[in-house]
Structure 1
Amino acid sequence: MKILALSTAEPGCSLAVTDNDQLVCETYWHSRLTHSRRLLSMAGDLFPDQAGCEISDVDAFVAAKGPGSFTGLRIGISAVLGLSTALSRPAAGVSSLDGIACRFSQVDVPVCAMMDARRGQVYCAVFRFEHGRLKEKTDDTVCSPKQAISMVSGKDAVFAGSGARVYETKIQETFKGRARMAPPFMDAVSAAALAWAARTTPDFFQNPANTLVPDYLRSEGADAPRGFA
């Protein structure tokens, strides 16, 4: 199954094409351009040269459905729904936090994915993987950094995402320096990780829970700064 996945949940825009378990190509672009201006250019670069196929050959579409930028999410979801309708292919949504945490599916400690939600809050979920597969995940939530850190049980954990980067000092103080911080280049939501999450979940595209609708986690009141979407 060929999947085109994308994330517009954050300032960076990520697109990836996978073919079953194989990553075919992936691109990431962080600039002052809006997502609406970047998406077409990035897709044009992928198809057909980098992907080795036409976009009409894609079997399914996946998008980050939130949390994240309200405007950014709407742009990405609208693009995927448009492609899905035009090509009569299934489309589904994956949590933006999965697009961070699934990069660490081989670790043997809890993974706390935290995105900066501004207002002194983070979007957060804690994941546990076993033999490369998701075993357990808390509900996505928006909360204070202190509350997010308290969700992690045990003495060791991986912290990743823009929120973990912003509150790294607080995390290390709580874990007395034992927290494993993801490298900065692995903090962003990865389109390839979104595709992997969909690919490894049985009957993913048939499950109504994965319907592609935005999941903002909080009411729209303070979207990202100018240029974010």
Structure 2
Amino acid sequence: MKLLCLSTAEQGCSLAIVDGSILVCEEFWDARLTHSRRLVKMIEHMLENRAFMALGDMEGFVAARGPGSFTGLRIGISVVKGLAYAMGKPAAGVSSLDGIAFRFDHCSIPVCVMMDARRNEVYCAVYHFDHGRLMSKTKESVVSPEEAIGMTSGPVVFAGSGSKAYRDIIEQTADNPEFADRFLDSVSATALLRSLGSKEDFFNCSENRLAPVYIRQSDAQLQFAEK
């Protein structure tokens, strides 16, 4: 199945096209332009100049559904929904945290994904893999860095923007931390797709419904509640 997948959960934007189990191409942009100004052009460029395919060749669409940037998520999900509707093809959503964790799906020790949620908090989940297969995953949550570290024990790989923002705390508190390379801290469209690999008929799975998952209220909502 030919699939187009994207993530706009963070400042950078990741795009990938696969044909069955074959990765056709993947691109990542970290330019400081809003997703609304570049996303459609990025998709057109990738299809025409990298994949040598047309939009009509796609048999389905996948997007990161959150957590992450509220505005970025809304833009990415809206674009994917629009493309799916226009082409009459199915669409699915995948956790942004999965899009980081599945970069390490052959890791022999647990992976703690920490995305910087600001306000001294991180979006977090801890994953256990066995030769590419997900064995367990904690509930996704927004917690303090200390609480995230408390979800782990023994040797652990820390990944995601939060693992770098709070590296000092992790080094002082965690039992035996290892850190992912910085270029592996972002959500990968390929990893999003890899997380779906073992699922059957994921387009009709409620877990993969294409709707934003913010986990917490926006900063504007939090500020309003504090008044």
| Cα distance per residue 1:152-194 (max 9 Å; x no partner) | 13x1011100000111111111235x31100000000001111
Quote how far apart the aligned CAs of 1:208 are: 1.5
RMSD over aligned CA atoms reads 1.3
Matches within 5 A, 1:10-159: 10-153=10-153, 155-159=154-158
Where 1:215 maps in the other structure, the secondary structure is coil
| Cα distance per residue 1:48-106 (max 9 Å; x no partner) | 23112111111111100000011110000000000111111110100000000000000
Quote how far apart the aligned CAs of 1:107 are: 0.7
CA distance in 1, matches of 2:112, 2:21: 25
Asked if the contact 1:20/1:199 (under 8 Å) is kept, the reply is no
Q: Which residue of 2 aligns with 1:175?
A: 174
User: Which runs of 5 or more residues in structure 2 are unaligned?
Assistant: 222-227
Q: 1:51 to 1:32 in 2, by over 3 A?
A: same
Q: Tell me how many residue pairs correspond in the alignment.
A: 221
CA distance in 1, matches of 2:22, 2:220: 38
| 186, 201, 204: which one aligns with 2:202 | 204
Quote how far apart the aligned CAs of 1:222 are: 4.6
Quote how far apart the aligned CAs of 1:201 are: 2.0
* Identity level (%): 54
Quote how far apart the aligned CAs of 1:45 are: 1.2
Q: Could you tell me the TM-score, scaled by structure 1's length?
A: 0.93
The residue identity in structure 2 corresponding to 1:127 is Y
Asked if the contact 1:48/1:55 (under 8 Å) is kept, the reply is no
Q: Which residue of 2 aligns with 1:226?
A: none
CA distance in 1, matches of 2:9, 2:65: 8
The residue identity in structure 2 corresponding to 1:184 is R
The residue identity in structure 2 corresponding to 1:191 is A
Asked if the contact 2:110/2:129 (under 8 Å) is kept, the reply is yes
CA distance in 2, matches of 1:148, 1:44: 39
Higher relative contact order (CA 8 A, sep 6+): 1
CA distance in 2, matches of 1:82, 1:115: 27
The residue identity in structure 2 corresponding to 1:219 is Q
CA distance in 1, matches of 2:127, 2:87: 34
User: Which runs of 5 or more residues in structure 1 are unaligned?
Assistant: 224-229
Q: Which residue of 1 aligns with 2:225?
A: none
Q: Could you tell me the TM-score, scaled by structure 2's length?
A: 0.94
Q: Quick check: 1:164 aligned with 2:163?
A: yes
Show structure 1 runs of 4+ deviating over 6 A.
none
